Structures are given as C-alpha cells and as structure tokens.
C-alpha cells in the first residue's frame, strides 16, 4: 500500500516539490512560535518567589550627599528610622539598583573548586530586604546586622545557583570564591528563585550580598512595603519628605506597575509575532486546501477507475489523505533535521526540553493542519461517481 | 493588447472564486503587514517633528573608553563639559543643541501622581529643533545665564497638571519640590524620538548636578547643525580630528565618540560600538527578516498560480497552436498576476489604514502617530510589483514550456 503511494508521489515530484517546501517553511515558522511559547510558559509556571504588591521603590539622586562613610552611615540610619516610623510603612530596605522589575542588571562570576560560574546576578540588599519582598528561604538564614563584621563575607545564593554548584548537597556553610577566586565568601542561606525580570523570564543564577556602609555612597534606591492605608496623599507626603531630606531629585514607583510594564515588553512583541504567524498559517492552510482540491478534481479519471473496479468511497478518501500525510512527513523529516540542531548546539542557552517540546508540538500541528486541509477534498473524491467520471474521461 | 489581458484576467478571476479569494487574502495581508512595518520605519527614520533638519545634522550620543589589553569597556552618554570645551571649538558647526536624556520625576496634583520626564537643554536647542509652541516661547541665553527656574512643558503635561486651563504661561509647576515658572507649551513629541521626547524642558544651569565637572562622560547628547548639507562631511571630519586631541582617561588606552547621521546613530546604539556604526548589521538583519517573511506567502502564491495556469492548459494550447510565442504568453501571465497583485494591494491598503488607525488609537507607544504618507505608498507600490513579479515568473515559465500537443490532448 505504502509502496504504491510512494510511486504515485514520485510520479508527480515536480508538482509536489512546491507543496513540500511550503510545508517545510511553515514547520520552521511554527517551530519558532512554539519554542517561544514553550519557553515563556515554562518560566511562567514557576513560582514568582517574592511579593511585589504594595511595594514602592524610591529612587534618589545621591549626588549632593557627603562622601564620608561615617556621616553617611548615620544619615542613612536616621533616614531608615524616620521612614520606619511612618504609620503607613511596614518595612524599609536599602537596595542596589538591580531590584526586581528595575531595568538594571549587575552580574559577576563566582568560583567553586576551580569551576567558574558566569553571569551570576549580583544583588546588594539591606537587612530587611527579605521582609520587604517576602523572600522564601529554603536553607540557612537571612543576613543579620552583625554579619557585616565577619572575616569571610557572607552571601546568600538562589536555588538555581545552588543546584548548579552543589546539586543535592547542602550549600550552607560552604566557601566559594569571588570573580577572580582571590577572596572567599561564605554561604549562609539559600532562597527560592526570584523571577526579577518579569513572569516570562527565568531567574538565572543569583547571589545576594549584604549592603554595607562602604556601598552606601553609591546607593540610590530604597524599597518600602506600605500598608493598605497608604494612598496618593501619603505618597505625596513621602515624596516631599524625601525631597527635603535629599535636596535632590526623587522618583517613586510602584512595583506592580513596574511589573506590568516589564511583562508588556515580552507580551506585545509576542502577540504581534503570533498574529503574523497565524495569518501566515491561515494563508498556507488555504493554499494547501486549494491545491489538494484542484489535484483531486484533476484525477477524477483515475479515481473513477478505482471506484469502478470495486474500491469503496472510504478507501479512496483514505488513500488521498494518506498521500498528503506522507508528503507532510517528508517535509517534517527535513524540517526536524534543522530544528534538532537547536537543542544539540544549545543555541541561545535555552533548556533542550523547550526545543524538544516545541518540535513535537509543531509536528503535531502540521499533521493536524494537513489532515484538516485534505479531509474535505478527500471526502469529495470519495463522492465521485465512477460512471460520471469515466464518461468524462 | 493590455486591455485584452485585463479582460481575460478579470474573467479568470471570476471563474474560480475560491482561488481568487485565497490569492487576494495572501497578497493583501502580506502587504498590510509590510505597509504597517514601513509606516513604523518611516516614523523612526525620516525627519519628523521636531527634528526636521536631519540633512544637515549630526548626532553625538555616546562616549566610549576602552582598555584593549584588559578588554575593559565603559560606555555612557556624553558630558556637558565635552561639548562645551571640545566640540564648540569646531568651526563648521553653525549651532549645537545640547540636552540631557529624559529623567523621570513625580508631581502630585489633586491626589493624583503624574510622572514628568524632564530634560535640561541649552538655548540653541530651541533654534536647532523646531518645536511647535502652542503658547509662550522658549527660554534664551539670558534665562540660562541667570539660571532662572523656567520651564517649557508639553501639551500632555499641561492637561495632566493644569486640567483644562486655557492658558498656563506664567503659572507655576512643581516637580522635585522646585517651583518652575511655565514660559511655553509645546506640542507632544513621539516617544520614538528618544532624544527629543520629554514632558518638561529646563535650562541646564538649574540642574542640580555639577555640569561643569571636567569629565568626558555625563548625561548629555547633542545635535550638531552645519550651515548647509554640503558642510556635513566636513563637520564629521573635523569632529574626528578633534577626537584625536581629546586626552585619554586613566586606565584606558582608547577613547571614542562619534558624530553620526541620524540613522547611523540609531544603528550604532543597537548593534555598533566606538569603531563600527552597525549600519550593515542592522540593514542586513532587517532585509533577511523581510525576505523570510515574504517567503511563505510567495511559495503559496506560486503554488496556487501553477494550479491555476495548468487548469488553463487548453487555452494555452490553442493560443500556441495559432502561433503565439512563449514570450507573449509569459508576458500575458505576468500582467495578469500583476493585476491580481494590485487588486490585493488595494485591499491591503484599506486594511493598513484600519490597522494604523487601531495602533494610533491604542497609543501603544506614547504620542506615536503613524501615518500613510507618499513615501509609505511608494514603498508599498514597489513591494506590490516585486511580489507580483516573483510569484508570477516561475508559473509563467512553467506554462510557456507546455507542449502544444499535450496541452490540447488534455482537453
């Protein structure tokens, strides 16, 4: 049966060539779309790792502050106390510029037993950062104020980095080297991943450092967790207070709005991409449908003859659908050959599972598409009356 | 002759309505997407409010330090000191517009938060760029020298801050806890013009940061205006000459800054660095993308055209038998295909108007107003012709090779 179908296909290779290339290109487009979607979905389904609602960020210009470390420490300590004393504010923490949903990134490398881990997000965090963002600890503990004076610097790492570095072993208490492996840092805790770049992006490797007095002169962000009672009136009071304290420019942003705009940057291009891809696919589907329909009308004689020698209507329509499916399979083999290179070569550093799922989904999609497009023409062929068809011939 | 082809084409289109629909759908949607993309590119690239003098302007936006031995790289905006101390000595510059990048600040009015993006500018900024003043006037050298707290605000800020007040010149607007006197209101600028969009424009002398600090990196960028279009290459050369005299900062061995044309300044930001303006990279990526996008509808159209043409084999056979040459036939089919493409193009044009209207209405990018102008129309016409030719040539060639006897026998 299959041998016969292949012979039929081979006899019309010239006509089928365009059909094949069309399916091939559609497969590649669909593969790209599904890769994106799978990647985003995999990330989306992971927990966020922190709480963003009711958190505001205050960005201040530190240009006019003194650069003296001791007076700065006193200044910031007083500022912390004044903010904490406001009834609408629950928690306050200083933070480096790369807090979640900000557009800032800071990364470094770390070493462990001679192995280097690059692109580790490096967060500078105050002691109350955990309370402000409600970060979940998995192992160990969070920073304590007295940690600032220890011999080895204390750090906290995230789950992903822990898994890469230690696998199933415990991480707390281990010493790791900094970017050039000169200084040692001691891990005191492991936290759940924080998806800091929005819902659709992975957390990546991350390391948290305690924000000490030496860093204060570079610092220009405060995160505050506010209570339900905090409204716009309070915000403008807070703004005035900060502007008076800093004598320089201030900006207050709400983390939930920052999250929305961060997600939008991913969603809008994705929606445009999906719209374009679906138009392309509708276009291709109509084209396939048209070509199949035409081909079957042209083969009336052959089909009529088959019916006349006893083939049932179902058998005829099965044959035509199978022919289309075999053609699709040929294209898919070529397409999969290209697509498989992505996980094999580890393109864009995306987990192989994303590509594998995307390939499977695309194959399924193309089969469904071809099946749907050949179903009606196949059924029409089954309805051909042998006497009429042969008379025409 | 053409009239005849036209009549045949219409008759053929009417005969197989389903195929006609598929072709038209493919053509019109492809062109719609191309047109909307062109309208967007046109908005970004061609001179637009308030930056009309691009032909005789060069843009300086980045300063780059490099340590080639260690592989260090520092890139940032440019300092005011650099423009004032080095660039202003160039003789070919007629005027120079200096401004900071927009920085956000908050203002609170009637329990509502307004985000105000403010920029510090010099006096010539208003002479180089043609902002449209709805009321009032810009600040001049006098106000700058006196460090007066005056502000030019955008129409959007006016409505957000003052509500529907008729005139606001002379009133005060408070941002960063400083009261600025409004002296002018300008029309909104599309956010696609990264360097010129803002809600409030202030004299650089009121900036709280020390703009006199003798460093090369800072928060400023500039537009250099030459006297005429012909002077632009001279100005660029002079700028490069001047860069050789700029002292290299400690710890580094190279310093780069470039005066680019508008498009090059954009591609440099996306794909370039100090030595390479990224133009070729961006242009080739864009072209590859467009080609790939066109591939699928084109294959589809070729597929359908072949089907349609083979269906007419008897007609071709008869014409050939009566002496029509292959060339005539190819010509006829290409013309037919072009007619179909133009028809699709027309429908696509209607769709594009709708799409552009929807995009403008949704205000996807703040204050961006896409429009269909002659340039966009011209490009879409070219796209139509290319599309029609590409998808028509192969089927026409296949058809012209058809054997007369075979074609007639099929009947």
Q: For residue B372, what are its two tokens?
A: 């269909």
pLDDT at B342: 86
Q: What is the mean pLDDT of residues B317-343?
A: 82
Contact B293/A at CB under 8 A: yes
pLDDT at A359: 92
**Residues B300, A284: C-beta atoms closer than 8 Å:** yes
Integer CA distances (angstroms), B337 to B171, B308, B390, B400, in order: 64, 11, 10, 15
pLDDT at A118: 79
A and B: number of Cβ contacts within 8 A: 99
Share the mean pLDDT of chain B: 85
Residue in B25, B209, B299 closest to A18 by CB: B299
How far is Cα A155 from Cα A187, in angstroms, rounded to an integer? 5
pLDDT at B240: 92
pLDDT at B411 over 70: no
How far is Cα B60 from Cα B239, in angstroms, rounded to an integer? 10
- Partners of B208 on chain A (C-beta within 8 Å) are 61, 63-64, 247-249
- Partners of B210 on chain A (C-beta within 8 Å) are 63
Give the angle A129-A131-A136 at the CA atoms, nearest 5°: 95
Assign 3-state DSSP to chain A and report helix, strand, coil percentages, each to 5.
60, 15, 25
pLDDT at B122: 92
**Residues B300, A287: C-beta atoms closer than 8 Å:** yes
pLDDT at B340: 84
Q: What is the mean pLDDT of residues B197-201?
A: 91
The 10s digit of each residue's pLDDT in B98-138 is 998 888 888 888 778 888 888 999 999 999 999 999 999 99
Residue whose C-alpha is closest to residue B356's, from B108, B11, B5, B39: B39
pLDDT at A392: 62
Residue in B111, B115, B208 closest to A232 by CB: B111
Residue whose C-alpha is closest to residue A144's, from A157, A131, A160, A134: A131
Question: pLDDT below 70 — which residues of chain A?
Answer: 1, 14, 389-390, 392-393
Do the Cβ atoms of A27 and A189 come closer than 8 Å?
no
pLDDT at B72: 72
Give the global pTM: 0.77
The 10s digit of each residue's pLDDT in B333-367 is 888 888 888 888 899 989 999 988 988 888 777 77
The percentage of residues in chain B with a pLDDT greater than 70, rounded to a whole number, is 98
Q: What is the mean pLDDT of residues B218-244?
A: 91
Q: Which residues does A281 contact at the CB level (< 8 Å), separation at least 6? A: A26, A29, A30, A369
**Residues A284, B33: C-beta atoms closer than 8 Å:** no
Q: Is A77 helix (H, G, I), strand (E, B) or coil?
A: helix
ipTM of the complex: 0.71
The 10s digit of each residue's pLDDT in B41-66 is 888 888 888 888 988 999 998 888 88
pLDDT at B401 over 70: yes
Q: How far is A85 from chain B (nearest CA, A)?
A: 22
Q: How far is B188 from chain A (nearest CA, A)?
A: 22
How far is Cα B78 from Cα B75, in angstroms, rounded to an integer? 9
The 10s digit of each residue's pLDDT in B126-174 is 999 999 999 999 999 999 999 899 999 999 999 999 988 888 999 999 8
pLDDT at A93: 92
Token match 């010239």: residue? A14
- Partners of A294 on chain B (C-beta within 8 Å) are 19, 307, 311
How far is Cα B67 from Cα B110, in angstroms, rounded to an integer? 52
pLDDT at B407 over 70: no
pLDDT at B105: 81
Residue whose C-alpha is closest to residue B329's, from B341, B339, B318, B320: B320
How far is Cα A354 from Cα A361, in angstroms, rounded to an integer? 11
pLDDT at A224: 92
pLDDT at B408 over 70: no
Residue whose C-alpha is closest to residue B2's, from B231, B332, B278, B242: B332
What is the number of alpha carbons within 13 Å of residue B317 lying toward its C-beta?
Answer: 14
pLDDT at B219: 83
How far is Cα B99 from Cα B76, in angstroms, rounded to an integer? 15
């Amino acid at each position: 049966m299959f041998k016969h179908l292949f012979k039929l296909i081979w006899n019309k290779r010239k006509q089928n060539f365009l059909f094949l290339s069309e399916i091939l290109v559609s497969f590649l487009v669909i593969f790209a779309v599904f890769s994106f979607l799978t990647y985003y979905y995999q990330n989306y389904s992971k927990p966020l790792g922190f709480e963003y609602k009711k958190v505001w960020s205050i960005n201040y210009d530190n240009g006019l502050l003194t650069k003296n470390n001791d007076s700065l420490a006193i200044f910031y300590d007083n500022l912390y106390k004044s903010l904490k004393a406001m009834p609408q504010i629950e928690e306050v923490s200083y933070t480096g510029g790369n807090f979640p949903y900000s557009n800032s990134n800071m990364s470094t490398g770390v070493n462990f037993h001679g192995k280097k881990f690059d692109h580790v997000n490096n967060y500078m965090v105050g002691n109350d950062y955990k309370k402000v963002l409600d970060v979940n600890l998995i192992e160990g503990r969070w920073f304590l104020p007295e940690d600032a004076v220890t011999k080895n610097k204390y750090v906290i790492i995230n789950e992903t980095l822990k898994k890469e570095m230690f696998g199933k072993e415990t991480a707390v208490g281990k010493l790791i080297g900094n970017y050039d492996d000169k200084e040692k840092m001691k891990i005191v805790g492991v936290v759940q991943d924080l998806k800091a770049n929005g819902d659709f992006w992975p957390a990546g490797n991350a390391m948290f450092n305690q924000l000490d007095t030496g860093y204060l002169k570079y610092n220009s962000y405060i995160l505050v967790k506010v209570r339900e009672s905090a409204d716009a009136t309070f915000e403008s009071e807070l703004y005035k207070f900060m502007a008076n304290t800093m004598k320089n420019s201030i900006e207050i942003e709400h983390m939930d709005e920052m999250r929305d705009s961060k997600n939008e940057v991913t969603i809008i291009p994705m929606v445009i991409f999906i719209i374009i891809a679906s138009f392309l696919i509708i276009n291709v589907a109509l084209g396939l449908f048209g070509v199949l329909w035409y081909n079957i009308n042209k083969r009336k004689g052959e089909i009529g003859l088959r019916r006349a020698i006893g083939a049932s209507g179902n058998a005829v329509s099965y044959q035509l659908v199978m022919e289309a499916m075999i053609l699709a399979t040929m294209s898919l083999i070529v397409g999969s050959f290209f697509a498989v290179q992505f996980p094999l070569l580890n393109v864009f550093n995306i987990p192989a599972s994303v590509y594998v799922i995307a390939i499977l989904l695309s194959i399924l999609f193309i089969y469904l598409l071809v099946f749907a497009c050949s179903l009606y023409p196949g059924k029409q062929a089954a309805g051909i009356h042998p006497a009429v068809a042969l008379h025409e011939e | 002759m053409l009239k005849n082809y036209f009549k045949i084409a219409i008759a053929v289109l009417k005969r197989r309505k389903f195929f006609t629909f598929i072709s038209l759908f493919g053509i019109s949607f492809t062109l719609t997407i191309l047109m909307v993309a062109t309208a967007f590119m046109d908005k970004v690239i061609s001179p637009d409010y308030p930056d009309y003098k691009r032909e005789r302007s060069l843009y300086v936006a980045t300063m780059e330090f490099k340590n080639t031995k260690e592989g260090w790289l520092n890139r940032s905006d440019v300092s005011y000191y650099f423009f004032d101390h080095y660039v202003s000595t160039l003789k070919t510059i007629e005027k120079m517009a200096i401004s900071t990048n927009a920085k956000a600040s908050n203002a609170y009015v009637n329990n509502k938060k307004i985000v105000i993006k403010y920029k510090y500018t010099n006096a010539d900024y208003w002479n180089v760029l043609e902002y449209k003043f709805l009321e009032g006037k810009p600040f001049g050298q006098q106000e700058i020298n006196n460090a007066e707290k005056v502000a030019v605000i955008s129409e959007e800020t006016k409505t957000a801050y003052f509500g529907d007040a008729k005139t606001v010149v002379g009133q005060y607007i408070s941002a960063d806890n400083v009261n600025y006197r409004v002296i002018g209101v300008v029309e909104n600028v599309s956010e696609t013009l990264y360097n010129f969009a803002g809600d409030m424009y202030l004299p650089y002398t009121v900036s709280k940061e020390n703009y006199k600090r003798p460093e090369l990196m800072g928060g400023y960028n500039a537009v250099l205006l030459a006297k005429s279009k012909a002077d632009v290459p001279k100005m660029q050369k002079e700028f490069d000459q001047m860069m050789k005299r700029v002292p290299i900062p400690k710890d580094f061995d190279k310093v780069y800054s470039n005066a680019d044309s508008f498009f090059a300044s954009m591609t440099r930001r996306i794909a370039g660095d100090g030595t390479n303006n990224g133009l070729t990279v961006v242009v080739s990526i864009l072209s590859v993308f467009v080609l790939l996008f066109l591939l699928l509808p084109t294959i589809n159209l070729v597929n359908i055209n072949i089907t349609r043409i083979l269906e007419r084999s008897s007609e071709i056979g008869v014409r050939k038998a009566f002496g029509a040459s292959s060339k005539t036939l190819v010509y006829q089919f290409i013309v037919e295909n072009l007619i179909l493409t133009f028809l699709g193009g027309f429908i696509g044009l209607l769709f594009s108007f709708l799409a552009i209207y929807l995009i403008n209405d949704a205000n996807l990018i703040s204050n961006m107003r896409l429009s269909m102008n002659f340039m966009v129309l011209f490009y879409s016409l070219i796209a139509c012709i290319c599309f029609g030719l590409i998808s028509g040539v192969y089927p026409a060639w296949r058809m012209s090779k058809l054997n007369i006897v075979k074609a007639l026998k099929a009947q």
